[in-house]
Amino acid sequence: MARGFRQRLRYALVGGAIAVPLAATLTILTQPLWRRIETAFGIESSAHSAPASGC
């Protein structure tokens, strides 16, 4: 039983080690796209600093 737990833990750690940098990289790379969407539609989609006007 301990062996199965260790293997699952290893998979989780490896998955996290891959997922976290990937998510951060994709977030940074898609910022220009989100800025264009903000400009085109007049909505706040990133860099939100106050309550939304629709709230």
C-alpha span between 1 and 42 (Å, rounded): 55
- Residue 34, number of CB atoms within 10 A of its CB: 15
Indicate the average pLDDT of the chain.
Answer: 86
The pTM score is 0.60
- Whether 47 shows a pLDDT value over 90: the answer reads no
